[in-house]
Amino acid sequence: MTRRVVITGLAAISPLGTGVEKFWQGLLEGKSGIDLVTRFDVTEFPTKIAGEVKDFDPGLYMDKKEAKRMDRFTQFAVAGAKVALEDAKMDMEGLDKEKVGVILGSGIGGMETLEEQARILREKGPGRVSPFFVPMMIGNMAAGQVAIALGVTGPNITVVTACASATNAIGDAFKLIQRGGAEVVITGGTEASITPLAFAGFCSMKAMSTHNDEPQKASRPFDANRDGFVMGEGSGILILESFEHAQKRGARIYAEVLGYGTTADAHHITAPAPGGAGAAKAMAEAIRDAGLKPENIDYINAHGTSTDLNDKYETMAIKQVFGEHAYKLAISSTKSMTGHLLGAAGGIEMVATALAVYNDIVPPTINYETPDPECDLDYVPNQARKMTVDYALSNSLGFGGHNATVVIGKFKA
C-alpha cells in the first residue's frame, strides 16, 4: 500500500522578498521583482536586468562564520529549510532524524564562488585559493549543509536537471515518502547565478531579454512581444510528510501531493522538442500517477519562461494533453514576476501552486498585453483570480530535454 504525502511547510526567498508572505502578496498584487542588476557592473552586457533577492540577511538564519563558508545558493537553502520547518511547526527535538531526508534541486550550484576563486587563482596564484573553494562550489552542498544544520540523517540527494531540478527533487521526495523511505523530506530548489560568467553565457546564447529600459515589463510569458527570459535567484523550500506523520502531530496541511511525471526529449541541448512532446508526456504521466483525468485539473503553474519556443511548445503540449479542456484551464507563469530561478524555479513555483490550492486564488501572468495567435489559452492575464482550485499541476522544463510535472490537490481527510 502506497502512503499519502502532504505539504505541511513552505518557505520562499525570492525577488519579491524574503518570506512566504511577501512572495505570495507580491504575486497576488501582480508585482514585479525585476530591476537593474546591482550585484556586478553590467555596462558591457546586452542584458542589464535580473530578479535579485535584495532583502536577504544570512545572519538572521545562521552564524556569520558559517555563512562565510557557504556560497549564496547554499545560504538560501539553509535559511529556507529552517523557515519551512518553522512554518510546519515541526518539533525538531521530538523528530526521528533518521527518517528525515533532504532532496534539493540546483541547476548550477556555487557559481559565485567559482568565479571569485578563479579570479584569485589568476591574480594571486594557487596558494591563495580558499580551502573552502570546493565544498562551497559543488552543487550537492546545499542539501549537505541543510542536513548538517539540522542534524537530519535520512536520504540526502541533490538533483541536477537544469531548470527542471527542483520539480524533479519534489517528485523524488514524494516517491521516497510514498514508498516508506522517509517520513519527512525537506525539498525544493535553490539557485544564485546572477554572476558575470553566467550572465555572459546566457547573453551569448541570446536567451535573455534585453528589455532593459522597463525592467519590470521584461518578463512577459506567452505575450507576442516576449524576447527572452529574465534571470532570478532564491529558493523555494517545502516540507513533505507522510499523512500519518502529519496527522499524529496535528499539522496544518496546505495540499496533498498526488502525482509525478518526468521524461526526456532526447532532442537538443537547449531547444524543447517540437510540439512540446516531452512536456506533454510528463503532464500525462503525472495525471495518470495521481489517478486523475485531464479534465480534473483546474490550474497549471506553467514553466512559461518568456522565450519564443518554450511558451509556444508548452501551449501545444497543454492542448495535446487536455484537448478541449485546455481552454477551460487557468494557466499562469509566475516567472512574469520573479524571473526564472533556473534550478530553483520548480521550488518557488510549487510554493505558489500549493498556496493557490490552499487559498483558492490563482496568481496572474503579468505583462500580458499582446496576444500571440500560437499562445491562445487562458493565461490569467495581469490580475489574480479567485476560483476553486481542487487540482493543480506545476511544470518545469530544462536544458538537455528534461521535463518534470508534479500534480497536487486539496487535502481531503
Q: What is the DSSP letter of 43?
A: T
pLDDT > 70? residue 100: yes
Q: How far apart are CA 183 and CA 241, in angstroms?
A: 6
Give me the pLDDT at residue 94, please.
86
The SS3 of residue 191 is strand
Say how many residues make up the chain: 413
Residue 175 pLDDT: 98
Q: Is the pLDDT of residue 158 over 80?
A: yes
Q: Looking at the predicted structure, is the pLDDT value of residue 1 above 80?
A: no
User: How far apart are the C-alpha atoms of 364 and 384, rounded to whole Å?
Assistant: 5
For 86-97, how does the pLDDT look when each residue is reduced to its tens digit (9 = 90+)? Answer: 999 999 888 999
Helix, strand, coil share (%) of the chain residues, nearest 5: 40, 25, 40
pLDDT for residue 124:
97
Helix, strand or coil, per DSSP, at residue 19: coil
219-270 pLDDT tens trace: 999 999 999 999 999 999 999 999 999 999 999 999 999 999 999 999 999 8
Per the CB < 8 A criterion, the answer to whether 101 and 184 are in contact is yes
Cell numbers for 7: 505539504
CA–CA separation, 145 and 213 (whole Å): 39
What DSSP string runs through 231-260? BB-EEEEEEEEEHHHHHHTT----EEEEEE
**Residues 116-152 pLDDT 10s:** 999 999 999 999 999 999 999 999 999 999 999 999 9
Task: Name the fold adopted by 5-248.
Answer: Peroxisomal Thiolase; Chain A, domain 1 (3.40.47)
Question: What value does the mean pLDDT take over residues 31-59?
Answer: 97
Is residue 375 flagged as an active site residue? no
What pLDDT score was predicted for residue 10? 98
Place of cell 490550474: 299
- Predicted confidence (pLDDT) at residue 381 exceeds the cutoff of 90: yes
Burial class for 113, CB neighbours closer than 10 Å (0-12, 13-18, 19+): buried
pTM: 0.98
Active-site option among 79, 163, 237, 407: 163
Mean pLDDT, to the nearest integer, of 151-163? 98
* Domain 5-248 and domain 257-408 have a common topology: yes
Alpha helices in 179-237 (DSSP H): 196-204
pLDDT recorded at residue 413: 84
Asked if the 257-408 domain carries CATH number 3.40.50.360, the reply is no
Percent pLDDT > 90 in the chain is 97
H-assigned helices in 125-160: 133-137, 141-150
The per-residue pLDDT for 2 is 83
Domain boundaries, the chain: 5-248, 257-408
Q: Which three cell numbers stand for residue 137?
A: 562550489
Cell numbers found for residue 9: 511547510
Q: Is 329 helix (H, G, I), strand (E, B) or coil?
A: coil
